[in-house]
Amino acid sequence: MTQTPSDLILDRIYANEQTYADEIFLTQPLGGGITQDYTWAQTMDQSRRMAAHLKSLGLPRAARIAILSKNCAHFFMAELAIWMAGYTTVAIFPTEQADTVKFVLEHSEASLLFVGKLDEWHKQEPGVPAALPRIAFPLAPANSYDKWDDITARTQPLQGEIQREPSDIAMIIYTSGSTGQPKGAMHSFERMSAAVEGIVQNFVENLGAGRKHRMLSYLPLAHVFERAFVECTSLMYGRLHIFFAESLDTFIQDLQRARPTVFISVPRLWLKFQQGVFAKMPAGKLNVLLSIPVLGSVVKKKVLTGLGLDQVELAGSGSAPLPPELIRWYRRLGLNLVEGYAMTEDFAYSHCQTKEKNDPGTVGPPYPGVHVRISPEGEVLIKSPGQLIGYYKRPDLDAQSFTPDGFFKTGDLGSQLPDGQLKITGRLKEQFKTSKGKYVAPAPIENRLNAHPMIELSMVSGSGFDKAYALVVLAEHLRPSMHSDQVRAEVEAELTGLLDQVNKQIADYEQLKMLVIAKEAWSIENGYLTPTMKIKRSRIEFGVQHEVEHWYGKQSNGVIWA
């Protein structure tokens, strides 16, 4: 590792506590349009009081303390308290079912659980060991646990600038489990701080030094993307005002309240935002309006204002590939949208597009200090300053995951352009072989399909058949009327054309026999999406396994209703 941080993240936090004491740091919606602001001084006072309480419990050295909560101000405060008390954070996705909650708590040997803002705590609570102590955040569901506010009211704050060893484990991040049982990636203060310092430097290069910015925190904080780019970046940079989303139903109001100047999202949501625009104005009409010189500028501003993104100076996408056409569409609206690529295992510090290198379809060049090479099999290998120490209690995985010279095996297929930009072409494990003996990589084909305004998500499959096929979920605005004969006819005509168009753009051995329209949307709730909205490929394939042969046997125009 060539890059080391000039300070650990806690050093920066203590400096920000002094420098920006009276500046608002966190804004928490409480419901009914009411919000509560926390300055840096108030945030740290709460965290120091909770840290003192945690220390008083006599927990084992480096104890793991879990947080199960949707994004909220007290998630930040709890993590700060855990770090200052000398412990390690384990965050659990707030949408996980009881069995995964149980697995993570038991596997991490958590000593205590913070219970926060949750939608289905009654379904998750059975997964919590009965003897595990719990502390409730102010926005937690009704409970009989120790309350955050009661504890902080009676406890004096921990004083001074409490230090942690660079090699101490700050957090264990459990992967979202798209490929099976979650794995716990251990991140030390030193490596996490190096990654976040690199992200902050990139942030400053794009937006200038010392300026105050606004962000909305709504992607799960248990995931490395939000943790690194929102929480840890704001803690280290100091001049980021973080707003939280209240709920899915209030998301647009939350966005309008925050009026973010920096905004990150995932491909599924970028697609949904676009489809929301198309539901109000057809793509063709919008395209014509945008091409009219003066009117085009007015329309661009109106569309971005409607999305709540009119103040955004820098927008980012990560977690999964973004269709290049979609990036071009947003950039045409005037949104400075860049795509990045990273993993839990490198603390989200790997690649990102820059002002000079931002070709749609690539994820940009490596961040400073990141080394990358492509294996003979086409796998992307990364050595990052933010690299994990290892997987918690899984030395077997450590041995499998690194090359002898310390590069992490990402499992992604890719290639490098001459100027250093990286192009991701799929997952090594997602490739499948047709009966003709050729390998098909699903992701690039799915990206072409997902760019169509009638499609929300797709999955390319067909292992062992003569040709691949794609299962597609219709866009949200079409689903309520998908049984209407007229809508079906329009969808079939449009998707037949799409199938033909996509097949002309890909190699003959990759071509799709058919598009199958899924009966229901894929969601986190029904188990078809991970908490970060990536498709659970094996789960979807398992769900349709008895129907696939029937689809292949049908005579059709290439579009089938499941």
Q: What is the pLDDT along the chain (562 residues), one digit of tens a residue?
A: 444 556 899 999 999 999 999 999 999 999 988 999 999 999 999 999 999 999 999 999 999 999 999 999 999 999 999 999 999 999 999 999 999 999 999 999 999 999 999 999 999 999 999 999 999 999 999 999 999 999 999 999 999 999 999 999 999 999 865 556 889 999 999 999 999 999 999 999 889 888 999 999 999 999 999 999 999 999 999 999 999 999 988 998 999 999 999 999 988 889 889 988 988 888 889 999 999 989 999 999 999 999 999 999 999 998 888 889 999 999 999 999 999 999 999 999 999 999 999 999 999 999 999 999 999 999 999 999 999 999 999 999 888 999 999 999 999 999 999 999 999 988 888 889 888 888 898 988 998 999 898 999 999 999 989 899 999 999 988 999 988 999 999 999 999 999 999 999 998 899 999 999 999 999 988 889 988 788 988 889 988 988 998 899 887 779 999 8
Contact 446, 461 (CB under 8 A): no
Task: Give the model's pLDDT for residue 5.
Answer: 55
| β-bridge mates for residue 416, sequence order | 422
Contact 512, 556 (CB under 8 A): no
Contact 317, 329 (CB under 8 A): no
Burial 270-292 (b: 16+ CB within 10 A, else e): bbbbbbebbeeeeeeebeebbee
Superfamily of domain 429-561: ANL, C-terminal domain (3.30.300.30)
Tokens 């299962």, located at residue: 471
3-state DSSP assignment of residue 410: strand
Task: Give the model's pLDDT for residue 180.
Answer: 65
Task: Give the model's pLDDT for residue 6.
Answer: 64
Task: Give the model's pLDDT for residue 1.
Answer: 41
Contact 199, 14 (CB under 8 A): no
CA distance 360 to 326: 9
What is the pTM (predicted TM-score) of this model?
Answer: 0.88
CA distances, 276 to each of 283, 298, 334, 453, 476 (Å)? 11, 19, 18, 10, 9
Count of Cβ atoms closer than 10 Å to residue 419 Cβ: 11
3-state DSSP assignment of residue 124: helix
CA distances, 349 to each of 221, 341, 383, 404, 422 (Å)? 16, 8, 10, 21, 14
